[in-house]
């Protein structure tokens, strides 16, 4: 199996190891760029045009699920939330959000599953299942174009945990997320531009996957690529990282559902 | 599994083989894949013995591909698209995927414009060729060389 | 479950050349991939796409595994008369999926 990125990553690790400060600097607000900006015009067109974006299939499936009665309670999302175009506007832009019943932040997937099990009395959707991806894509689509607006009220310790995870060296290559995405964004690694890693478009249609996937799937891929043990879906580490990443991208426009290479 | 070295056709090849006894696996035959030859054969199947001239066709592909799984492609043919003078078909070929054919688009005078866009898969850096078959029996072509890299962080199989 | 997205103008002037954009939900399984057990995943692609205009074929595409997943095809046709545009995708399994759209030509 070819691993063309491995040599580049080892060189990067050796260079970065020599000069990395104790705490990497965050990207200045005005320098923040979405991964969209380094895509080719054709791939951007694929994201911008709903009829050319394969993610639209998931959004439409999500809309169907939204209106479908389910579970022992025989309720549809629409029965409580009405038209998602109104009720879900801006919702994805403020997740992960604090959930008082658990005294911790939860992400949108967890929120959907809480509604599913507690309100619809139906079994929760499995991580990365078609249904869960369809609903998060549909709900996320209602925030497209809106600025990410995370409130860290009651969540400061989780934000700090997420930041530590982002800046922590890990895996066989002893690299942190920050070394690529804060310190070396914009440079080319194995033919691709290193993005700043803002989760503005999730769930995304990733060309590499030839399908739609969540931020957690992408984070697991990154960690496997760094030769680190990936976190499990739904783990507290993932939610803390998602919280930090969304807060780091605060004010940037939601692009859901995005297209990425 | 070991195989006896084939007797090489040229002296230079034979010297290389003799001097590298430990390299047997590297000299094993490659898996079946399109080559310049099979692409030429696929083209011949469409074109027959007619000559294919460069021109009239414009094949557009990004020179550096972000991901070989979905490469945007547009092919345009300069033609008035009238009943007496139009594009009958546009055929796409590649050099290094497992198969040389990519697609054949059948048009005609009702098309109005000979311009098609699609997304293709490219397994490696290679040449892509578009051949237009005109109503007068002539063939015209354009080709593009593209660079395809693998994604930087290869993932596990899907969850 | 939504299978196809088609973008066709609802109206056009007689003789105008219109663009038709199509996107189909389909994995276009090449037949060259292997699953986690090393077994080849069998080929399963859309091998033919046809557009007919009031029953007359105006565009046809023969597709091979090199066409990307969720096949995207855009092409042009002349708006000759009002009526129905029918788009069909035929797979290796022999099944044909169809979408229709009406167009008003004045």
Nearest CB among C18, C68, C74 relative to B116 is that of C74
Integer Cα distance of B21 and A76 in angstroms: 69
Taking an 8 Å cut-off on Cβ atoms, the answer to whether A224 and B67 are in contact is no
pLDDT > 90: percent of chain B = 64
C6 contacts chain A (CB < 8 A): yes
Domain ranges, ordered by start, for chain B: 50-148
Interface of C with A in 72-91 (CB under 8 A): 72
pLDDT of residue B155: 57
Looking at domain B50-148, its CATH class is mainly beta
- At the fourth CATH level, which superfamily is domain C4-105? Immunoglobulins (2.60.40.10)
Taking an 8 Å cut-off on Cβ atoms, the answer to whether C6 and A51 are in contact is yes
pLDDT of residue B11: 47
Across chain A, mean pLDDT equals: 92
C36 contacts chain B (CB < 8 A): yes
Q: What is the mean pLDDT of residues B75-88?
A: 98
The model's confidence at residue B158, banded by pLDDT at 50, 70 and 90, is: low
Would the pLDDT of B21 be above 70? no
The minimum CA-CA distance between A185 and chain C, rounded to whole Å, is 29
A170 contacts chain B (CB < 8 A): no
Would the pLDDT of A18 be above 50? no
Nearest CB among A56, A61, A210 relative to C5 is that of A56
Give the residue numbers of A annotated as catalytic, written as ranges.
222
> Which residues in chain C have their CB less than 8 angstroms from residue A60's CB?
2
Q: Which residues pair with B112 in a beta bridge?
A: none
Residue A48 phi/psi, 5° resolution? -75, -30
Tokens linked to B68: 């070989």
Which pLDDT tens digit goes with each residue over A193-235? 899 999 999 999 999 999 999 999 999 999 998 899 999 999 9
Which pLDDT tens digit goes with each residue over A154-173? 999 999 999 999 999 999 99
Judge: domain A55-141, CATH 1.10.760.10: yes
CA closest to C6 among chain A residues: A51
CA closest to C3 among chain A residues: A57
CB distance A67 to A78 below 8 Å? yes
More reliable by pLDDT, A114 or B155: A114
Q: Give the best residue of A42, A47, A48, A52 to mutate against chain C (max C CB count within 10 A).
A: A52
Pairs of CB atoms within 8 A across A/C: 33
Interface of C with A in 28-57 (CB under 8 A): none
Taking an 8 Å cut-off on Cβ atoms, the answer to whether C5 and A61 are in contact is no
CATH 1.10.760.10 placement within chain A: 31-38+149-260, 55-141
Q: Is residue C91 exposed (0-12), middle (13-18) or buried (19+ Cβ within 10 Å)?
A: middle
Nearest CB among A1, A46, A189 relative to B152 is that of A189
Chains touching chain A through at least 3 C-beta pairs below 8 angstroms are B, C
Q: What is the mean pLDDT of residues A92-110?
A: 97
The model's confidence at residue A256, banded by pLDDT at 50, 70 and 90, is: very high
**Integer angstrom CA distances of residue B100 from B36, B58, B118, C67:** 9, 20, 17, 12
Would the pLDDT of A80 be above 80? yes
Integer Cα distance of C68 and A259 in angstroms: 15
Q: What is the mean pLDDT of residues B71-97?
A: 97
Outline where DSSP puts E strands in chain A: 97-99, 104-106, 188-189, 192-193, 204-206, 211-213, 259-260
Taking an 8 Å cut-off on Cβ atoms, the answer to whether C53 and B110 are in contact is yes
Which pLDDT tens digit goes with each residue over C58-102? 999 999 999 999 999 999 999 999 999 999 999 999 999 999 999
Integer Cα distance of B43 and B131 in angstroms: 8
The model's confidence at residue A52, banded by pLDDT at 50, 70 and 90, is: very high
Taking an 8 Å cut-off on Cβ atoms, the answer to whether C69 and A52 are in contact is no
Looking at domain A31-38+149-260, its CATH class is mainly alpha
pLDDT of residue B10: 45
> Which residues in chain C have their CB less than 8 angstroms from residue B114's CB?
76
pLDDT > 70: percent of chain C = 98
Domain ranges, ordered by start, for chain C: 4-105
């Amino acid at each position: 199996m070819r691993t063309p990125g491995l040599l580049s990553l080892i060189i990067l690790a050796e260079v970065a190891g020599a000069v990395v400060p104790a705490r990497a600097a965050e990207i200045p607000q005005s320098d923040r760029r979405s991964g969209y900006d380094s895509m080719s015009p054709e791939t951007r067109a694929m994201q911008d045009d709903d009829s050319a974006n394969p993610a639209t299939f998931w959004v439409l499936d999500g809309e169907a699920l939204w209106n479908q009665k389910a579970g022992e309670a025989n309720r549809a999302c629409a029965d409580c939330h009405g038209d998602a175009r109104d009720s879900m506007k801006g919702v994805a832009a403020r997740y992960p959000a604090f959930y008082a019943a658990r005294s911790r932040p939860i992400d949108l997937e967890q929120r959907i599953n809480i509604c599913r099990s507690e309100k619809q009395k139906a079994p929760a959707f499995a991580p990365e299942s078609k249904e869960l991806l369809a609903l998060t894509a549909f709900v996320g689509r209602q925030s497209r174009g809106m600025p990410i607006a995370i409130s860290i009220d009651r969540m400061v310790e989780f934000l700090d945990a997420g930041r530590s995870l982002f800046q922590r060296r890990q895996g066989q290559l002893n690299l942190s997320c920050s070394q690529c995405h804060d310190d070396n964004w914009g440079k080319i690694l194995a033919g691709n531009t290193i993005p700043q890693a803002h989760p503005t478009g999730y769930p995304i249609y990733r060309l590499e996957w030839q399908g739609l996937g969540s931020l957690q799937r992408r984070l697991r891929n990154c960690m496997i690529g760094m030769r680190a043990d990936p976190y499990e879906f739904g783990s507290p580490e993932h939610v803390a990282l998602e919280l930090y990443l969304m807060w780091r991208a605060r004010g940037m426009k939601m692009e859901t559902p995005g297209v990425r290479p | 599994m070991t195989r006896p070295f084939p007797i090489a056709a040229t002296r230079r090849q034979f010297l290389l083989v003799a001097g590298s006894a430990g390299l047997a696996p590297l000299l094993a035959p490659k898996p079946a894949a399109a080559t310049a030859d099979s692409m030429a054969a696929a083209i011949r199947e469409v074109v027959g013995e007619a000559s294919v001239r460069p021109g009239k066709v414009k094949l557009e592909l990004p020179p550096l591909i972000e991901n070989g799984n979905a490469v945007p492609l547009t092919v345009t043919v300069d033609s008035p698209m009238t009943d007496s003078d139009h594009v009958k078909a546009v055929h796409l070929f590649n050099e290094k995927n497992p198969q040389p054919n990519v697609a054949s688009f059948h048009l005609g005078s009702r098309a109005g414009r000979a311009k098609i866009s699609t997304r293709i898969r490219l397994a490696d850096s290679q040449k892509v060729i578009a051949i237009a078959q005109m109503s007068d029996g002539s063939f015209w072509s354009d080709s593009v060389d593209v660079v395809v890299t693998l994604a930087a962080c290869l993932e596990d199989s899907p969850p | 479950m939504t299978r196809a997205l088609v973008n066709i103008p609802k109206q056009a002037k007689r003789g105008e050349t219109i663009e038709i954009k199509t996107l189909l939900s389909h994995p276009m399984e090449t037949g060259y991939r292997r699953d986690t057990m090393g077994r080849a995943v069998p080929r399963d692609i859309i091998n033919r796409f046809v557009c007919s205009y009031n029953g007359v074929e105006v565009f046809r595409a023969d597709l091979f595994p090199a066409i990307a997943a969720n096949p995207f095809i855009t092409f042009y046709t002349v708006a000759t008369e009002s009526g129905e545009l029918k788009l069909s995708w035929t797979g290796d399994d022999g099944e044909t999926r169809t979408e229709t759209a009406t167009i008003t030509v004045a």
